[in-house]
Structure 1
């Protein structure tokens, strides 16, 4: 067992949650055991704070970095709260509208969807559940399956409070094309939705990412990067891997991401977080009892 308290940052989708709605019981046990032993455990997600699955929050955490690093909260204290300049939001929306691209824009409180996204997401979730029915039935009770998310129309969004955009496109090269079109003030990366064709991506401002959010939290708490553990599976986790002293990728992560992290744990539903915590002495196997 390690005697030094660690500060642990956990991605949500593909790390805590499998297929958007399933949590391994060992993950719940690992987080609670780590906190009981004096470690801090925070979420570190690309989701808006108001869009984090309630069953994830019910596990219990010491804070959260959300919207891909734009918002950081420790306990009840807001450490960092950034938004995109309104002109940047308008530029993103104008580009997607001109391309006929379906998109979301995210404030810290919620998610706003362009026309056609709600039907697309409903179909996506239905297909995901069909493909992963075996995994879901193995770990989750039927009543644990969450309903399709509800989004507010993008026309109702306050464009002065937007922190991030997410898009889905039939064009497999949309991520690169979006980066070129928007310019270097923006940070465009592949998203984590496993589409059968096309691509999806995330758009934020250059210099805002999970790594900068983690650095703000570490500075606020007077902690060192060497004490930090980051676990994730997506391209928005790269900067988290870069700033944390210990970086761990999930088994389902892209092989290139696994190489960047330098360490790989088992799958989301194969006790990935639990095994990583045990390996690094954060918890003891006996904590499962």
Structure 2
């Protein structure tokens, strides 16, 4: 397909409300884009196993998945995956992630739990008080995190802690190269700070209710408006 685009969607807050399924209207719109020959990718802080199950339940096939904010990539929902890509991750970064996980357990005990990631550390909390305590704890560890090249993406329900050289933008560049698609034919849709690297590398960036994203080329109020915007760009 001459005009084939790679169209990328964040999951939580973008394709679906937090902890809710993808709406039927969004699934219909995605499948329509696929029928036109475009490649769909879901890029999330969630691990690949979660995204795989979500897409299976939603009936989404032939999609690319980017998990853990860029650390892991795979094609489609088959397990083992048909095609799989990885960004290079140093042993030092892996060790630092393991250390921050151990420190969090020692500090917060049963008040937290972890998303079962392959690389990054995602900390969930039980109460707003624990959330604030984690935020303050991470502030105290700011220098250590910087020295060990870890970056934090705070969310309403969790904190993602990832190697600083891993993000959605770098994963997208790797995927574009692998697929042989020109960067000029890439569109990203997102709603929060861990989507900024997507916005920075894609030719068109659609921010949903995220006015702070100054680098976005388009700002819309909701997902339906984002799909309308995509139609005008293709």
- Does residue 80 (structure 1) correspond to residue 86 (structure 2)? The answer is yes
* Equivalent in the alignment of 2:178: 220
Distance in 1 (alpha carbons) for counterparts of 2:116 and 2:166:
14
Q: 1:98: how far off?
A: 4.0
* Equivalent in the alignment of 1:197: none
Larger radius of gyration: 1
* Equivalent in the alignment of 1:100: 108
* Equivalent in the alignment of 2:150: 187
Residue pair 2:115, 2:121 contacting (<8 A) in 1 also? yes
* Equivalent in the alignment of 2:15: 16
Q: 1:62: how far off?
A: 2.4
Q: Give the number of equivalent residue pairs.
A: 216
Q: Which has the higher contact order (CA 8 A, sep 6+)?
A: 1
Residue pair 1:211, 1:243 contacting (<8 A) in 2 also? yes
Report SS of the residue matched to 2:119: strand
Residue pair 1:175, 1:188 contacting (<8 A) in 2 also? no
Q: Deviations over 1:67-113 (max 9, x none)?
A: 11011123521122666745223311232134327241533xxxxxx
Q: 1:29: how far off?
A: 1.4
Report SS of the residue matched to 1:18: coil
Root-mean-square deviation (CA, aligned residues, Å) is 2.5
**Structure 1's 105 and 21: CA in aligned 2 closer, same or farther, altered over 3 A?**
closer
* Equivalent in the alignment of 1:114: none
Question: Within 5 Å, which residues of 2 pair with 1:38-49?
Answer: 38-49=37-48
**Structure 1's 225 and 185: CA in aligned 2 closer, same or farther, altered over 3 A?**
farther
TM-score (norm: length of structure 1): 0.66
Structure 1 gap ranges (5+): 108-161, 195-199, 282-289
Instruction: Select which of 275, 278, 284 maps to 2:228.
Output: 275
Q: Deviations over 1:4-63 (max 9, x none)?
A: 211111111111111321433321111101110111111111100112274544233421
Distance in 1 (alpha carbons) for counterparts of 2:29 and 2:197:
24
Distance in 2 (alpha carbons) for counterparts of 1:249 and 1:174:
30
Distance in 1 (alpha carbons) for counterparts of 2:10 and 2:219:
14
- Does residue 265 (structure 1) correspond to residue 220 (structure 2)? The answer is yes
TM-score (norm: length of structure 2): 0.80
Report SS of the residue matched to 2:160: strand
Residue pair 1:11, 1:43 contacting (<8 A) in 2 also? yes
Distance in 2 (alpha carbons) for counterparts of 1:83 and 1:106:
18
Q: Which moved more, 1:95-104 or 1:30-39?
A: 95-104
Q: Which moved more, 1:6-15 or 1:24-33?
A: 24-33
Q: Deviations over 1:183-241 (max 9, x none)?
A: 343332333225xxxxx421111211111111110111122211111111121111111
Distance in 2 (alpha carbons) for counterparts of 1:20 and 1:81:
27
Question: Within 5 Å, which residues of 2 pair with 1:137-148?
Answer: none
Structure 2 gap ranges (5+): 77-81, 126-130
Residue pair 1:164, 1:204 contacting (<8 A) in 2 also? yes
- Does residue 62 (structure 1) correspond to residue 25 (structure 2)? The answer is no
Residue pair 2:5, 2:186 contacting (<8 A) in 1 also? yes
Distance in 2 (alpha carbons) for counterparts of 1:29 and 1:236:
26
